[in-house]
Amino acid sequence: MELKILKIGGSVFACKESNKPKVDFNVLRRLSREIANAYKNNFNLILVHGAGSYGHPIVKRTGINKGIKRKSQLVAFAETQRLQNELNSIFTRELIKLNVPAIPCQASAFTLMDKGKIKEMYIKVIKGFLKLNLVPTLYGVPAYDEKQGCSILSGDDIVPFLAKKLKVKQIIHGTDVDGVFTSDPKKDPNAKLIKKITPSEFKSIISGISGSTKIDVTGGMKRKIEELVKLTEFGIQSIIVNATKPKRIEKALLGEKVIGTIICK
Ligand code: ADP
């Protein structure tokens, strides 16, 4: 069975512009229905979601992404992890209600970081879950880092790592804009949607891509695209779609034509 990875950015359902943890339940429930509808078709699925208001503000405030330097950061480390578990529990609860076997997977419990990079991840459990036809549901988390005590294992780190290890062919990335534009569409009304990006074209468009307009500690759109472009070397194709607009995620999961940006070789 084909394996797809669906990443849902925190900006989509976890109110990234809010300073306090907040979920947009209308969006989350609609998205969950779309995932449930598409999942009836025969493919294996890994879901990865971002943290939005549950992660970025507390990490920015306490600096735990840069390592543990003060004792007071330990409570922040623990609380950040707890908040991510809470958000994941909210997301998976909606999916489970719709009969999707979305099994919560706390990646920091089986991943070792080294200066902000994944050093080791024990993926046998993920493979096992997939064999059973579960939908492993991972999310951005603060993780143990050998060099600095703590760093952020973001959804955007997890996606390329698993895609390569598990020989994924397709990644669907849901965000809060229609795809990749010539410049940030939230700031520039003349920004134009780029329908397709190949590694050779990437160099000429990279200057127009910035991070995130919201509080972001993991690199935003620019880092995402850089990683997805690298994956094309491994035969992995990605599509960036607007998950805040109805049916886009469902269509993308089903392989139907949808507005967005395709990243391929
Ligand atoms: P997510 O939470 O979905 O992972 P991010 O906040 O990290 O998303 O990145 C999405 C944001 O990236 C958009 O809301 C947009 O403001 C910003 N962005 C910056 N440059 C671009 C660009 N060239 N094309 C599209 N989005 C861009």
Looking at residue 12, its pLDDT comes to 97
Q: What is the predicted pLDDT for the residue at 16?
A: 87
Per the CB < 8 A criterion, the answer to whether 67 and 59 are in contact is no
Q: How far apart are CA 114 and CA 98, in angstroms?
A: 38
Ligand 1 contacts (CB < 6 A) are 9-12, 16, 50, 175-177, 180-181, 183-186, 208-210, 212-214, 216, 220-221
Choose among 127, 92, 234: nearest CA to 170.
234
* pLDDT tens-digit profile, the chain (265 residues): 899 999 999 999 999 899 999 999 999 999 999 999 999 988 999 999 999 999 999 999 999 999 999 999 999 999 999 999 999 999 999 999 999 999 999 999 999 999 999 999 999 999 999 999 999 999 999 999 999 999 999 999 999 999 999 999 999 999 999 999 999 999 999 999 999 999 998 888 888 787 777 777 767 888 999 999 999 999 999 999 999 999 999 999 999 999 999 999 9
User: Ligand 1, from 158, 221, 240, 248: best to mutate by most atoms within 8 Å of Cβ?
Assistant: 221
Q: What number does the ligand 1 atom closest to the CA of 219 have?
A: 7
Distance separating alpha carbons of residues 232 and 118, to the nearest angstrom = 20
Q: How far apart are CA 58 and CA 35, in angstroms?
A: 29
Query: Which pLDDT belongs to residue 156?
Result: 95
Q: Is 107 helix (H, G, I), strand (E, B) or coil?
A: helix
Residue to mutate (ligand 1; options 139, 154, 175; most atoms within 8 A of CB): 175
Whole-structure pTM value: 0.96
Close Cβ partners of 27 (under 8 Å, ≥ 6 residues apart):
12, 13, 243, 244
Quickly list DSSP for 158-175: HHHHHHHHTT-SEEEEEE
- Per-residue pLDDT at 216: 74
- Report CA-CA distances (Å) from 63 to 70, 106, 175, 184: 10, 21, 25, 26
Report how far ligand 1's centroid is from the alpha carbon of 181 (Å). 9
pLDDT for 125 equals 97
